A and B are shown apart, each in its own frame.
Chain A
């Protein structure tokens, strides 16, 4: 979309890229300067959750379709990778494709009925789907999922922390870049119109069904990619990947960063993962703190951290305006 407005915003754009490049450089040299495998491990998890959070955002942040059970896409993909790889002895690449494909299928299965649903009905339905998956994995189909013990012995693409670090870094940058491109294109604008007012969007001629389904599919596939990578990196998949807590954390990451911005949820996921995985003494209180943070953000900063920047910019603009007078 040709929406360039003034030279000021072009300047901001350059800054954005500068920040990105700076991040890329720092991220690339971290393994060279830190001796700690643990730090590398935390960062790999952060990369995975960045993809996971951004994939939630493309559906809920852009079209407003509240998905309370996002872990289902992540978890199903992770389980399918693990099960096909260990029990069916599929090559890892095939398992990965199967995992992502299963997340895609699930996004259709959930998305299609959800197309006709609005508001609370939709939220409840997504919730129910993930709950079913959780019940299956934790009790009804324990023979397949292994329950708490999990499915063990998944193969990995690359051996060792550092190679996995770089692989996850590349995957994260690619995924976030793609999602960001889609979100800032015409498609992204149309999705946001649906979030603002679905009836009005229809009156503008938008095939809302098609675009909502598209958002569901994108969301499912990218969460599936994150889940598949998680499975091969961790080499074990337990019931953790389909819990309500994991679903809730997609919301936490996004809310803290800034819903409906792709970059915001990515930043939120990165920060929080490092914060909580890095300070393990916090682990017991993680869920409590996560959710207190959500409550506080909903009440006081619903736009997330990224909205702080806008507020600062606005203030600056006002100052400039006053100068002119």
Chain B
């Protein structure tokens, strides 16, 4: 294990009642990379996220972050190390205002010495970044769906992460919302944060990712640039089924 490895996943498996949700998965992520993870429903994408962020314990395998074995650590410890996430099914603090939602993360980051300024000021900065500053004092439960998605990202950003895992940030958004959010995510990545993105909206994922991993039945079936992955026979088969493959290849 070298210090240079940013995120390294080795032989990672998670079984539920005999079902192999994630099955012997291996991959590396370099610092500054933008990795997309795609796959059909039930391919194990979210389970993989839960394993990387510590919300689930793996059945076997190990996870290293910056050369450090983090396999047994708890979610909050991983946040401290710099791994943040959003949830596919959004989980805002509903009775909190938008800024209070973000302040929670900022408070913890401040306690850990990651930020110097006042947590409220920092939270406002983050809200600017995701284009939510005009909603500061609105209760989270009154936000429209698109903005809740942004709030999730803001809350994750306020933990000052080095690695950001986004679980389907585009789901349920309108075309226009997808575009603005795409810009937000792009700029986050530009600011030096490594991003892993799970996405169903393939177009957005292809546009943003430098590299894509395809999961099917818990296994990695392809790993490469968006172009390479698109051409992959197995991938097309997984997405369209055998018939689709015959159709696609004539």
Establish whether A and B are touching in the complex (CB under 8 Å). yes
A-to-B contact residues, CB < 8 Å: 2-3, 5, 186, 189-190, 192-193, 196-197, 199-209
Q: In chain B between 144 and 165, which residues have their CB closer than 8 angstroms to a CB of chain A?
A: 155-156, 158-159
Q: Does B91 contact A206, Cβ atoms closer than 8 Å?
A: no
Contact A203 B100 (CB under 8 A): no
Interface centre among B80, B84, B103 (most CB of A within 10 A): B103
**Is B245 interfacial (CB 8 A cutoff)?**
no
A200 touches B109 (CB 8 A): no
CB–CB B93/A202 < 8 A: no
Looking at chain A's contact residues, the main secondary structure is helix
Interface 1/0 per residue, B16-38 and A, CB below 8 Å: 00000000000000000000000
- Is A189 touching B95 in the complex (CB atoms < 8 A)? no
**Interface CB pairs A-B, < 8 A, 14:** A186-B107, A189-B100, A190-B104, A193-B93, A199-B55, A200-B91, A200-B93, A201-B93, A202-B55, A203-B91, A204-B105, A204-B108, A205-B79, A205-B109
Which of A5, A186, A200 is in CB contact (< 8 Å) with B92?
A: A200
Q: Are A2 and B120 in contact (CB under 8 A)?
A: yes
B217 CB–A CB distance under 8 Å: no
Partner of A203, one of B84, B95, B109, B120: B84
Q: How far is the CA of A196 from the CA of B104 in the complex (A)?
A: 12
Q: What number of A-B contacts does a CB cutoff of 8 Å give?
A: 72
- Asked if residues A2 and B118 are in contact (CB atoms below 8 Å), the reply is yes
A186 cross-chain contacts in B, Cβ below 8 A: 107
8 interchain residue pairs of minimum CB distance: A205-B79, A196-B93, A205-B108, A200-B91, A202-B75, A204-B105, A197-B91, A207-B76
Instruction: Name the residue of chain A whose CB is nearest to the CB of B89.
Output: A199
In the bound complex, what is the Cα–Cα distance between A2 and B122 (angstroms)?
A: 13
Of all chain A residues, the one with the shortest Cβ separation from B53 is A203
B219 close to chain A: CB less than 8 A: no
Q: How far is the CB of A311 from chain B (nearest CB, A)?
A: 15
Instruction: Give the residue name and chain of the A residue nearest to B80 (CB).
Output: A205
Q: Is the CB of B104 within 8 A of A206?
A: yes
A189 to B99, alpha carbons, bound, how many Å? 12
Are A202 and B76 in contact, CB atoms less than 8 angstroms apart? yes
Is the beta-carbon distance between B85 and A190 smaller than 8 angstroms?
A: no
Most chain B Cβ neighbours within 10 Å, of A2, A202, A206, A207? A202
B91 touches A189 (CB 8 A): no
Identity of the chain A residue whose Cβ is nearest the Cβ of B93 in the assembled complex: A196
The winner among A189, A203, A208 for most chain B CB atoms within 10 A is A203
- Extra contacts besides A193-B93, A203-B91, A204-B104 (15): CB < 8 Å: A2-B120, A189-B103, A196-B95, A197-B92, A199-B55, A199-B91, A200-B87, A202-B55, A203-B75, A203-B85, A203-B86, A203-B156, A206-B104, A207-B74, A209-B74
**Chain B residues with Cβ under 8 A from A201's Cβ?**
93, 104
The answer for the CA separation of A209 and B87 in the assembled complex, in Å, is: 20
- Tell me, rounded to whole Å, the shortest Cβ–Cβ distance linking A222 to chain B: 24
Residues of B within 8 A of A192 (CB): 93, 95-96
